[in-house]
Amino acid sequence: MYITEIYINYTNNERKNWVKYNTVNVVDLESTCDEIQDSSKSEIIEIGIVEVNLHTFEIDKKRSIYVKPLQASITKFCYDLTGISQELIDTQGISLSRAFDTLKLEYNSENRLWFSFGDYDKNMLMQESRKKSLIYPMYKRHLNIKTLTSVFESFPKEESLKGTLEKLNMKFIGKPHSGADDAYNTARILIYLLKKYKGLPFNKWKII
């Protein structure tokens, strides 16, 4: 039996409302960085995103959306880590506003439950929205795959993305710190959890 639909419980005036999801998004961000690692000064340079179809367990629409930062430039440290060059940003990057529009128009991001590996991606999107006076493009419901996997697989501590895959006897596919590849591999972990577990405490899962 496989989980094919997710229902999230909302309480409205003490009435329970179940919202159904057939497709969810998985997101991974890459940001400007250097050896100091001050995230308060970081800007998004890549939004990696995929869709997960909960009926077929297929991963669709894998994409990197490259974003031009307003103030920061791509350091050698950042290039060595992510493979994203200043030339790539200059030639393929778009404004963060346009990137947010792409999320909303092509991935229905304002209405779709979404996942990421850790809370960094959610926090960074909120920070950038606030600093650049943009409307937050994501749905209010976000789930942290890193914590979920650690809890349900009884890991002694939370692992990195690669470490989590290894504990699940899976190999990383693609290049680490590529937003699109990290999102894809996070989606593989989500599918593993969906297939293995019939229910999670915060969800009502419909099984067929």
pLDDT level of residue 1 (50, 70, 90 thresholds): very low
Q: What is the pTM of this model?
A: 0.87
Is residue 70 within 8 A of residue 99, CB to CB? The reply is no
Q: Give the C-alpha separation, 47 to 43, whole Å.
A: 11
pLDDT digits (tens, 9 = 90+) for 27-36: 999 999 887 7
Mean pLDDT over 153-168 rounds to 96
Taking the domains of the chain in order of start, what are their residue ranges?
3-207
CATH number of 3-207: 3.30.420.10
pLDDT of residue 194: 86
pLDDT digits (tens, 9 = 90+) for 74-96: 999 999 999 999 999 999 999 99
Query: pLDDT averaged over the chain?
Result: 87
Residue 196 has pLDDT above 90, yes or no: no
* CB under 8 A, 24+ apart: contacts of 82-91: 82/30, 82/33, 82/45, 82/46, 82/177, 82/178, 83/175, 83/177, 83/178, 84/30, 84/45, 84/46, 89/45
